[in-house]
């Protein structure tokens, strides 16, 4: 790939320099501009599933974590329209699962909870709580999979594949609301995966 170090584009009116092949997220991070995110995490290939990082690129929505920069694009990130869009996404994650932060052991060190605070989501629920009945898989000594709180960010799957080269985790039913992380029980009980990557254990609950 030809290296072009002179790409420039704008985020909310600020000129940002980028390199060929960089995503909008990476270039923004280097420039000290924060774009909210949940599924993206340093050290893993981006997946583009949570859409919390959605920005507008030349007026069209795009996931900043997967969208490559190109010369002179105009990116909107910190606008009221996009803030409200992100708020709706976070609300739907809370209302689709069973998130009772006050009795959750991850409270205070949870990125979903922190994002709700960051986006100042304080008003009552906008959509009905679905209160699904989902299993908790505690069959392995090193991994607890609570499907009530899983937001299907795919970090655990990407970490096991990209860091450990294993394939015992997967997501069922694609991106549907009934999708969930699956474990291959037999293999799981015979192996252990490294949780010493760039994310603490609670992020893969």
Task: Pick one of 7, 38, 55, 151: the residue that binds ligand FES (CB under 6 A).
Answer: 38
Burial class (CB in 10 A: 0-12, 13-18, 19+), 24: buried
β-pairing, 74-76 vs 7-11, is: parallel
Q: By CB under 6 A, which span of 47-55, 97-105, 157-165, 193-201 interacts with ligand SF4?
A: 97-105
99 binds ligand SF4 (CB under 6 A): yes
110 binds ligand SF4 (CB under 6 A): yes
Q: What's the min distance (Å) between Cβ of 51 and ligand FES?
A: 5
188 is written with which tokens? 């799981």
Task: Pick one of 7, 44, 57, 65: the residue that binds ligand FES (CB under 6 A).
Answer: 65
**Rounded Cα gap, residues 103 and 41, in angstroms:** 26
Q: What's the min distance (Å) between Cβ of 204 and ligand SF4?
A: 11
Burial class (CB in 10 A: 0-12, 13-18, 19+), 67: buried
Task: Pick one of 49, 77, 180, 183: the residue that binds ligand FES (CB under 6 A).
Answer: 49
- DSSP labels for 84-113? HHHHHHHHHHHHHTT--GGG-TTTTS-HHH
Query: What is the C-alpha R_g of the chain?
Result: 18
Q: What track of x and - describes contact with ligand SF4 for positions 140 through 169 (by CB under 6 A)?
A: ---------x--------------------
Under the rule (CB under 6 A), what is the footprint of ligand SF4?
99-101, 104, 106-107, 110, 112-113, 149
Under the rule (CB under 6 A), what is the footprint of ligand FES?
37-40, 48-53, 63, 65
């Amino acid at each position: 790939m030809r290296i072009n170090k002179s790409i420039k584009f704008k985020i909310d009116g600020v000129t940002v320099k980028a390199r060929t092949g960089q995503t909008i997220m990476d270039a923004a991070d280097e420039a000290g501009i924060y774009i909210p995110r949940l599924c993206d995490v340093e050290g893993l290939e981006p997946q583009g599933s949570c859409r919390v990082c959605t920005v507008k690129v030349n007026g069209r929505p795009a996931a900043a974590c997967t969208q490559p920069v190109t010369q002179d694009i105009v990116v909107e990130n910190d606008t009221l329209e996009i803030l409200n869009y992100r708020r709706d996404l976070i609300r739907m994650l809370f209302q689709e699962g069973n998130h009772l932060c006050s009795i959750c052991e991850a409270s205070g060190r949870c990125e979903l909870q922190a994002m709700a605070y960051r986006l100042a989501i304080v008003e009552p629920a906008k959509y009905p709580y679905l209160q699904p009945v989902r299993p908790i898989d505690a069959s392995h000594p090193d991994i607890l999979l609570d499907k009530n709180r899983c937001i299907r960010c795919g970090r655990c799957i990407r970490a096991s594949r990209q860091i450990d080269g294993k394939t015992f985790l997967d997501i069922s039913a694609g991106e549907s609301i009934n999708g969930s992380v699956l474990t291959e029980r037999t293999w799981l009980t015979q192996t252990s995966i490294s949780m010493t990557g760039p994310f603490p254990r609670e992020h893969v609950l």
